[in-house]
Chain A
Amino acid sequence: MKKILANSYIGSLLIMLYAPILIIIIFSFTEAKVLGNWTGFSLKLYTNLFQSGVHHSLSSALWNTLIIGLISAFVSMLLGTVAAIGIYNLKPRARKIVQFANNIPILNPDIITAISLFLLFVSLGISQGYTTVILAHISFCTPYVVLSVYPRLRMMNENLYEAALDLGATPFYALRKVLLPELRPGMISGFILAFTLSIDDFVVTLFTIGNEGLETLSTYIYADARKGGLTPELRPLSAIIFITVLALLLVINHRAAKREQENQKH
């Protein structure tokens, strides 16, 4: 009895969380301009999405989002890893201070980050566009990379690096052959985290994007919503993104569970 109650509670919360997403998916199979009108089953929106030229502004927004996400995730992965190695080698006191400083941007609400970056770019006289968006994204993603790389450094046996040096490796060689392989999982998860933060970001992008017509997916949606309606093609696009992420996460989860089972056997 208790169990049924508990399960139905979880179930109803999940229904609440998924109802809007389900609505998007269901209504991606109809042609109606307004979300909520059903005008018969159709795959037109999906074909529109993949036909180049039908929705040029949407596809260019999508490309911008992906490019900005990849560049800023890559750069913040590099910066964050170097920063984590640096923090690890600091004296305890200084390390605490730098770690605290690293946590400030994470706890800071994004609108304040956005306004400060906006004012910074304006006061430096940098015209806003692609570069400023990428710089802004790098600056708010890097702390997260530091957080995901740093635990790997602490788990690592620090004698390994010194052993490599003693055996005659140059510092750079030791970095490449000893340190980086150990840090790789942290770097990869940092990259993924930074990428998702970047493509999902709206507020910081809105403030640093300038007014020369550059759009990312989230500013595009926002502008659309303010005009009163959502471009219908966004429905199949979000449905595809959602299903892809769902499948990816299930595969990752399944593989992790399998690996755990195998480890238990050994």
Chain B
Amino acid sequence: MANFQKFWNQPEAMHTFIFSIGVAIITTVICLVLGYPAAYILSRMEAKTAKIMVLLFILPMWVNFLIRTLATVALFDFLRIPLGQGSLYFGMVYNFLPFMVYPIYNSLQKTDKSLIEAAQDLGATPRQVFLKTILPLSVPGIASGIMMVFMPVISTFAIAELLTINNIKLFGTTLQENIYNGMWNYGAALSLIMLILIGLTSLLNAEGNAKAAEEGGLL
């Protein structure tokens, strides 16, 4: 238990923990705001073009993410933008946007088109059709997208390290440093704290998740 007490008493670890949650929430929101319209547009496209477009969104993930992150660093250098919080968020969104677009696209694609037509026939304005029909039907995709962005962002360490030249520390870095410096018990305690947080988020999402998994939204 001493290790858990250490966590409460050490303001530094606590700060990184809260800061990481903040970064994860902001990244998730940006990904959702950017990704939802993209998924929506993709789902409206002709099936053939949409398939290729979705492929294009997923393809960058096949290049090792460390190389991509380093290339982002080079891009910022090239444009003479200093590395810091801005580049951190760019890198995070850049790395995790496909994880948001894909599940939302999947659930939008599977919605029954006749429901949308029915709403239109019954005299709903385009705005109403979107808010009352399309959006609620895509909630499982949104839930699964949020999970797939939020959880990895909280635990990454290499991206933050490279994109801010180690100026901004996330919780993943704290974990790794502790394990590397031989403080295994403390590191394990910190991992358990993170695991609890992840468990709580997945419980909140449990329903949407089960649905998404059934529909293959997770993969």
Q: Which of A's residues lie within 8 Å of B, judged by CB?
A: 6-7, 9-10, 13-14, 16-21, 23-24, 27, 35-36, 103, 106-112, 115-116, 118-119, 122, 144, 147-148, 151, 193, 196, 200, 202-203, 207, 217-218, 221-222, 225, 230, 234, 238, 241-242, 245-246, 249-250, 253, 257
Contacts and interface: CB of A to CB of B under 8 A. Distances in A.
A119 B70 contact: no
A109 B202 CA distance: 12
21 contacts: A9-B41, A18-B60, A20-B71, A23-B78, A36-B74, A36-B78, A106-B218, A107-B202, A109-B151, A109-B154, A111-B156, A111-B194, A115-B191, A116-B191, A122-B184, A221-B67, A222-B158, A238-B64, A241-B62, A245-B59, A246-B59
B152 interface: yes
A111 B75 contact: no
A200 B60 CA distance: 12
B94 A17 contact: yes
B131 interface: no
Contact of A241 (B63, B98, B209): B63
Contacts of B195: 108, 112
Contacts of A20: 68, 71-72, 74-75, 94
Nearest to B188: A119
B155 A253 contact: no
B64 A21 contact: no
Q: How large is the interface on B (under 10, 10 to 19, 20 to 34, 35 or more residues)?
A: 35 or more
Nearest to A110: B155
Interface of B: 34, 37-38, 41-42, 44, 48, 51-53, 55-57, 59-68, 70-72, 74-75, 77-78, 94, 97-98, 147, 151-152, 154-158, 162, 172, 175-176, 179, 184, 187-188, 191, 194-195, 198, 202, 209, 213, 216, 218-219
Contact of B38 (A10, A18, A110): A10
Given A10-B41, A253-B51, A107 B68 contact: no
Nearest to B101: A13
A118 B184 CA distance: 10
Contact of A13 (B97, B176, B209): B97
A225 B66 contact: yes
